[in-house]
Structure 1
Amino acid sequence: MAQTPVAAPYLHADAVSVSYGATRVLDRVSLTVARGELVALLGSSGCGKTTLLRSIAGFVVPTEGRIVVDGRDITRLPPEARGTAMMVQSYALWPHMNVAANIGYGLRMRGKPRDEIAKRVGEMLRLLQLEGYGERAIGALSGGQKQRVALGRALAVDPSVLLLDEPMSNLDYRVRLELRHELRALQQRVGITAIYVTHDREEALTLADRIAVIDAGRIAQLGTPDEVFHRPVSPFVAGFMGADNAIDVVRSGDLWSWPASTGSGG
């Protein structure tokens, strides 16, 4: 009986390393992402998660390895030739442009016709529940509304991969909680492939199809939220996910035991 062929991953980072002098920031990291999947890169500050994201975006050139998107090797391509879009925590919106102009900025830079830009901006305003906000100044928006505008600008160019670098870290908890559910629903509805960098395990567990826990430039574990939380592969992952219940055990042959408590009972 013939086996069903396995589809190639939509995005493949293959043994990617990044070094600055003697400092190795990424150490032969390999990651695959399926089309339409959202993968969270989870780790503490300085672990290498943002460097991996920026390598995919084209802002960091790997020392070793390669990055392939939809069968195309983009490792040495400049950011503007990759077809990806990146959203950062500062939003990077133009304060002198209104909402519609900000959303359509990437399309104008690509030389799209004016009527096509207007149509696409209208689609984004409806998709992000910002109808009626097109003429509004950026300074008149709330933090959550600014985040929606930044997301609309990223989605308007129909990117091959949406790259998100802690986009909600500047928002208060209540707004962050509301928007993470909106973002997940939107990503699933549009069907876009996305990589989301965060240090917040709750955010990763809520948003992601799979989570890559990163430590010291390497992927410590890659799996579904359930796998990473309930079946951590190492003490580090268990501790980072807040699920570390450790006991000392003693092995004698095929038997395992743990010492009785030496404290006085109540």
Structure 2
Amino acid sequence: MRTSNPVLSRLGEAAERERSAGHAPAGPYGPAAGQPGYGQPYPTAEGYLVPPAVQPMTVDDVVVKTVALLGLTGVSAVAAWNLVPDSLLGIAWIGAAMVGLVLGLIISFSRMAHPALVITYAVVEGAFVGLVSKSYEQVLGYEGIVLQAVIATFGVFFTMAVLYRIKAIRATPKFQRGMYAVMSGLFAVMLINFVLSLFGFSTGLRSNGALGIAFSVVCIVVAALSFILSFNEVEEGVRLGLPQRYSWMAAFGILVSLIWLYLEMLRLLSFLQGDD
């Protein structure tokens, strides 16, 4: 099994070894040694003995988990919006942002399926999104901006899904390398800009103005294109027969892109509605 993504390729090879061995890995996702299914044959109706197959992930698995994570994110956002007082908004959303960042990095770099971590990430990021949304809508006074940003975010998501489906945009190896490089660069720029802002230095990248608007548009375009990477990972994961548990990683990738796109939509809409 070959794919342009080396990580998926390694996971696919591991899944093939699992299937060849006739069992799922021990631990929370498979039986322990000595139990049925751990390298032991199962009888069939014909009387032959065959090893149990590892359950592969499907597109439906990813859809169900993505919807579930979005539901958790939405519930957490509504709860944070209503429970956190205005006087604590700043501290609360900064704390949620830091915890979410750490969890996101752990999940991303581990490249393993940790459902509990992914679910926790959705809850924490939901609180962060809810607090930021409340700041824009009520504290800063951008009435209706949250609904506009939600509609715009899902509009872009479904548009990219259609473009991927009809193969108008393909996740070629060159496209993937370019996207990973651009996203890494954007992350580095935003991190440097954040650190500089702590010392009172403004670069104008996140302020209302031509530079700030242009940077937000670039971020929105890149966030939208990142869905192509996510859709391709799902397609390749299904083709390679990755175990069902990896659908959590695929759903996590889609959730991250949706949250990033939504936050950038909020910022751009605030620029277009008035002074930041």
| TM category, shorter | under 0.3
More helix per residue: 1 or 2?
2
TM-score (norm 1): 0.22
More strand per residue: 1 or 2?
1
